[in-house]
Each structure stands twice: as C-alpha cells, then as structure tokens.
Amino acid sequence: MDNQSQQNSGTPKDPKDSQLENFRVDHKNTKLTTDQGVKVSNTDDSLKAGERGPTLMEDFHFREKMTHFDHERIPERVVHARGFGAHGYFQVYEPMTELTKAKFLQDPSVKTPVFVRFSTVVGSRGSADTVRDVRGFATKFYTEDGNYDLVANNIPIFFIQDAIKFPDVVHAIKPEPHNEIPQASAAHDTLWDFVVSNTETAHMMMWLLSDRAIPRSFRMMEGFGVNTFRLVNDQGQARFVKFHWKPKLGVHSLTWDEAQKLAGKDPDFHRKDLWEAINMGDYPEYELGIQIVEEKDEFAFDFDILDPTKFWPEEVVPVKLIGKMTLNRNQDNFFAETEQVAFHTGNVVPGIDFSNDPLLQGRLFSYLDTQLLRLGGPNFHEIPINRPVAPVNNNQRDGFHRMSIDKGAVSYSKNSLRSNDPKPDEMNGYQHYMEKVEAQKVRMRSQSFQDHFSQATLFWNSMTPAEKQHIIKAFHFEVGNVKDKQIKQRVVEMFNNVDGELAKEIAKGLGMNPPANPGGTGVTKSSPAVSQENTIKMAQTRKVAVLAENGFTNKEAVEVINALEGANIHVDIVSKNLGMLTGDDGEQLEANKNYATSSEVMYDAVYVVGGQQSVTTLLTHKDAKNFISDAFLHAKPIGATNEGIDLLSEADVQGVAIADMESGSAVFTDMGVVTVRNASDFSAFAQEFIQAISQHRHWMRENIDGKMSG
C-alpha cells in the first residue's frame, strides 16, 4: 500500500499526523503561483528587454525562484549527516507508574506518535548506506506532555568518556583535512592515531570492527540510549536507567564483502529497504526495553554505571521489555521531515531525568547548539516535523523564521497586565530530580573510569569463532590502510591489553611484530546477549533471488515461490533479460530483475529452478554462476531443484552434500545448501529452504577451500 492509499484508507490519523495535515500540500490540479500567491503566467522564460535582450531586474518571479533555489540547502549535520526517517507509533505494555510519572508510559491503549531517523555517523549526505560505521537510531515521541527524544545508536557504548573530547574523535575519524580522504571510513591514519593515543576507545573499536557496524537492515538493528538516565516516579523516587530498542526481526548483519559491493551497486540499500518494507506492509517493529539500577546499587558493579564506554551486561542487569514501536508510514518529503527534524537529548518529559554521565552532560549543550546554526535560528521547534502535539505557551518571541503570531503586548514573566499568563504549573510542570551535589570544581576524571580494557575483553569473549574472525579481518582492512607503521605497531600493542591471541592475529595480517608478552585482562566472563548468533532468527520479510530462463519447470517454480511468499518472503525473478519467461508447459513468469539491475548482495538467499533448457542457458551466463558462488562465499542459503543443481556444481559450490542422480526425491540439506532431485512434490524442499533462510547465515561454510567472507 502506498502512502496516498494509507492516507485515504479511512484509518484514524494520530495527533501528530492530524497536526501536520495543515502543512501538507500535494499541488494536484492547481495553478502555479509565486510564494506570495500571485498566479504565474510563464515560468520558462525570464523577463527581457526584447527576445534577445538583457534580463530585467524587475522580474520578481525570476528573482524569487532563483533566490529560493540558491538557498535550498541547509548545512548538513556534522555527524549523522546521512539519514532516513519514518513515522509510526509507540504503545506501552502496562503502566510504569512504579518507575516513572512519564504519561506516555502509563496507558497501554494510547498510541503515542513517533518519528524515527536512522543514520550513519561519519559519512556525508552523499556517502553510501552500507559503510562500516555506527548507526544512529533517534526517536521523537510526540507525547501529551511535550516532545521526548530518545537519541540512540546501534552500539551501546561510545568512543570517549567525556564530551569535551567529542570534537577530537570526530575530527580524527572524518576525512583527513589536507585531502578530504577517505569518505565515510575509519581506515586511515588520523583515526588510528587517536585510538592508540586515547585507550578509552578500545571497547568501542571492538564493537565498530564487529558485524554490528554493518547491519543488514535498519529493521534488523538494535538501538541503545548509550547514556545513563534516570526514571523518576510521582513520589520523587529515582532509579538509573538505560534504554534499548530490540527489533522483532532480530539483529543481523552484512558481510564486509557484501557491504563494500553494495556501496557501489546500491548505495541506498538501507533506505530503500526501509521504504519498501513499509510500502509493502512489512512494518518494522521494535520493543522498548529498560535496564534499571537502584540508586543504592550505584557502586555495586565492577564498572562505573556512568561511564559511557561501558555497557550493563544483560546477564547482570536484565532488560525489561515495556512497550513496542511500529513504523507504519513513510515520510512525505525527505527534506521537510528527515532533514529538518531536530533531536536533542535535553528534550525530556516529567518522569525522565539526567545522570552525571559526563558524555550526556556535554550532549545536553551540543545538540541544541548545533540545531541553532543548522536550522537557521531559535525557532526550529516550529518546523512542522518538530512541533509538539502538546500546546506551546511561553514568552519567547521573534527571531529567524518565526511562524507563531503571538498576540498582545506582554512577553515577560512575572506580569500583571495578563495576570502573569502564561503561568508556571507548580503541580504538573517539569521538576528536576533533587540530587545532592557537593564537590570542588576540578578538571579530572573519576578513578572508576580508568579501566579501558576489561569490557573489551568481555566483548571478545562473547563472540563466536565466526564473529571473532570477522573482527580480525576488519582489523586487517582498517589498520592495513594506515600508512604510518609506528601507529600499526601501537595498535598491536594496545589490543594486546584486550587479548593476546587477538593481538597476534592483528600483527600477522599487518606484517607487524607480535607482542613480546601475551597480554589480556584476565577477564574470563562473557555476555551471550551481545553475540548476534544468539538473536531472534526468522525468515519473514527476507528477499530471495530466483534464477530462471526460458524452459524452466513451471510446476516446481510455482510451488516453491508460492511457499516462499506464503511465509512472507519476497521473491524476485532474475534472468539475463527483463520480461516474460516461458516455462516448460507454456505458462509464463515475469523476470522483474536482470543481472544489470540486481546482484547477489541484494538478497538473503538464492534459488535455482529446474528445467533442462533453463539450466543449460544459465550455465552459459557468468553472472548466474557468480550469483551462486558469491552466495556460497557469503554463507547464504542456496536452494536448487532437479536440473538446477547442475548450476551449483559449475559455480564452485564444494564441500557440501547435494542431491545426486540416485537420491530419489529425498531433500538434502547441508550447511544451508538445500537440494532435491527427481522430485514431483516440492513442499518438503520449500520448508527446508525456508528453515535455512530463517538462520540468516551458515557460517560453517566460511572456511571451505580457504574461503572467508569476513
């Protein structure tokens, strides 16, 4: 269902949607006007003194049109420049009265409107979606108490402990200033010089070089509030809290080879995936979870709960799922919504408060400050996407782009001319938690923040062998692009503090000296929750490429495709040429993709239909063989029926058991490769193939014949 259909379907609009309705204009069946509403007779020719004469300054339409065009672009965000947004709603599961007085967390029947912006951090607006990077996951809740912004990332920690170092880490990771190279990448000298010079980065770099930094989809990505906040209830009792978004589809990633190829073949891969999923009704869902630490337990852990380079292991502090967010409507205008939306960690509502996390404290200034420049002044809250659904009444006036027409002479407090309106609300207004603070002014860091390596070791211990190999190969690529050999050697020595074997493997790939003495922290614990192999796994909403040519066996194609679509798996028919393909029985299927418009990296699995004529043609296509060999390399599910199996053999699918000529109708499944020969009923094959798809990857294939997808 497209956006227009959704809007015209008779479904009741949420409060934010109704409010935005006054600002939506589709311009259908209208006459062209100037910005002042004056009808325009001609917009193709400027006003001239004669047909070939000079343009006249009095051409107000030309000047207005050109001036607006000259000023259409606003400064892109310094970080999180490349983003994509969607609308939806949030519902709490049960009243959270004991923990917080925040109204949007009390009534399960209330749907709170939300707008979510996903983003990469380092790259410019024109960079690719699939680069190795942290992903932003910012949510604006339009609550009856005002806007609440949960500004999250897909990694639960950060590079630095104190916000004063934020300009340093961003300067280091951005393209180097002398040549503006590389774009959207950490694989260069200045970033790794910063890393080895600031060892508090160790834990974050382990996450950044893991599969978490190359997500399969925004729909399959966790979100973390990163910082420590407080929840405050009606009795004034406070508890420390961390926020989590848990995707209902599980947490899944690309391989590095896929990420690199997609950056060239489909740089909009993530935003298209989100847009198409919502248009097809595959609404992304995320559960909101919270971790709670009582104030009396603030110092009960072997890490400081205010240290933003540390996460709270779920095995130590369980995550309580308290509600669900559903994204069910695409943006109407990318600039007006995604580009102009302004998030701020300081946008909180009664019941949510701050902690002394030094990164959070700095963010409370920085987010507001950057919006003032980027959105042209103090009135960016009046842009439709930023307007709260709660009424706004205060004495703020004037400034660039003021939209409110404030009546009356009074714009100050206290006043008698208007009986002190608007009055403070002592009962329901926001009240900061009354934390007692008594200390000397110092520029220092707490001793409890000095452990830079224990949780990096914990993360490493939590990885499966395949995940560890991916991290090692990421080190080889990222640090391998560093030119300064001294920095490379320092990377080896620094990560020897995390794990001695890891450091040896890093050194081997970089051609550096291994550590003189095996290192490590002595930490032997793990946190299974941070391994993606322990996530939810399902086949729903996955994409399968079906390879076929004229002469395919229609019966098996139809049976398998119907089974896939019945499991809410999306299918593309891929052929050398677009258009209709004719099966062995004269029935036709439309090839909606060809090799020029598709690639194996755009799919979660590949299926080869049988039919001697079809497969004989496929065997002559290098692109078809590449589809299979790349899918095998990337540990993806591969299915083939009858003669389709012959393409697997030609495409170098080795080391797995496949159905042979004598296998009858038995379904063979080995390491995610599902095959059947001499079958007339394909239901068993389809179910095995769907099960293989639900597993996402079959990492045991990575080392076959020395192949490693990384």
Clarify whether residues 651 and 559 are in a common domain.
Answer: yes
Clarify whether residues 523 and 580 are in a common domain.
Answer: no
pLDDT confidence bin for 7, thresholds 50/70/90: very low
pLDDT at 3 over 70: no
What is residue 2's predicted lDDT score, i.e. its pLDDT?
44
User: Closest by alpha carbon to 651, among 672, 669, 631, 675?
Assistant: 631
Measured distance CA(670)–CA(674) in Å, rounded: 7
Q: List the structure tokens of 105.
A: 């967390």
DSSP secondary structure string, 365-424? HHHHHHHHHHTTSTTGGGSGGG--SS----S----TT------SS--SSS-STTTTPSPP
Clarify whether residues 165 and 246 are in a common domain.
Answer: yes
Q: Is 376 exposed, middle or buried (0-12, 13-18, 19+ CB in 10 A)?
A: middle
Clarify whether residues 109 and 166 are in a common domain.
Answer: yes
Asked whether residue 165 is domain-assigned, the answer is yes
Instruction: Give the residue-averaged pLDDT of 168-196.
Output: 96
More confident residue, 356 or 17: 356
pLDDT confidence bin for 20, thresholds 50/70/90: confident
pLDDT in tens, 78-123: 999 999 999 999 999 999 999 999 999 999 999 999 999 999 999 9
pLDDT confidence bin for 705, thresholds 50/70/90: very low
Q: Is 447 exposed, middle or buried (0-12, 13-18, 19+ CB in 10 A)?
A: exposed
Query: How many domains, the chain?
Result: 3
**Length of the chain in residues, anyone?**
710
Clarify whether residues 474 and 617 are in a common domain.
Answer: no
pLDDT at 363 over 90: yes
Has 153 been annotated as catalytic? yes
Clarify whether residues 205 and 318 are in a common domain.
Answer: yes
User: Closest by alpha carbon to 229, among 73, 353, 104?
Assistant: 353
Return the minimum-mean-pLDDT range out of 41-45, 248-252, 695-699: 41-45
Clarify whether residues 524 and 633 are in a common domain.
Answer: no
pLDDT confidence bin for 554, thresholds 50/70/90: very high
Q: At what angle do helices 485-496 and 500-510 cross, to 10 degrees?
A: 160
Strand partners, 353: 230
Instruction: Report CA-CA distances (Å) from 364 to 350, 356, 424, 445.
Output: 16, 11, 23, 19
DSSP secondary structure string, 434-496? -------------GGG---SHHHHHHHHHS-HHHHHHHHHHHHHHHHT---HHHHHHHHHHHH
Identify the domain boundary among 353, 386, 419.
Answer: 386
User: Closest by alpha carbon to 225, among 280, 173, 286, 152?
Assistant: 152
Clarify whether residues 184 and 316 are in a common domain.
Answer: yes
The letter for the amino acid at 257 is D
Asked whether residue 402 is domain-assigned, the answer is no
Clarify whether residues 500 and 561 are in a common domain.
Answer: no
CATH code (residue 141)? 2.40.180.10
pLDDT in tens, 449-458: 999 999 999 9
Range of the domain at 170: 83-386
Asked whether residue 74 is domain-assigned, the answer is no
Looking at residue 339, the DSSP 8-state letter turns out to be I
Return the minimum-mean-pLDDT range out of 5-9, 404-408, 415-419, 627-631: 5-9
Asked whether residue 419 is domain-assigned, the answer is no
Asked whether residue 15 is domain-assigned, the answer is no
Asked whether residue 14 is domain-assigned, the answer is no
Instruction: Give the residue-averaged pLDDT of 227-240.
Output: 97
pLDDT confidence bin for 8, thresholds 50/70/90: very low
Asked whether residue 37 is domain-assigned, the answer is no
Clarify whether residues 551 and 484 are in a common domain.
Answer: no
For residue 21, what is the enclosing H or E element?
A: helix 15-21
pLDDT confidence bin for 67, thresholds 50/70/90: confident
Has 203 been annotated as catalytic? no
User: Closest by alpha carbon to 292, among 44, 99, 158, 120?
Assistant: 99
Measured distance CA(347)–CA(367) in Å, rounded: 10
Asked whether residue 103 is domain-assigned, the answer is yes
Measured distance CA(355)–CA(643) in Å, rounded: 64
Query: What's the start-to-end Cα distance of the chain, in Å?
Result: 37
pLDDT at 1 over 70: no
Q: Check 61, 80, 244, 452 and give the catalytic one.
A: 80
CATH code (residue 647)? 3.40.50.880
Q: Check 153, 227, 386, 497 and give the catalytic one.
A: 153
CATH code (residue 489)? 1.20.1370.20
What is residue 13's predicted lDDT score, i.e. its pLDDT?
62
Instruction: Give the residue-averaged pLDDT of 465-490.
Output: 98
pTM of the entire predicted model: 0.94
Clarify whether residues 200 and 116 are in a common domain.
Answer: yes
Clarify whether residues 494 and 601 are in a common domain.
Answer: no
Instruction: Give the residue-averaged pLDDT of 5-23.
Output: 63
What is residue 10's predicted lDDT score, i.e. its pLDDT?
42
pLDDT at 707 over 80: no
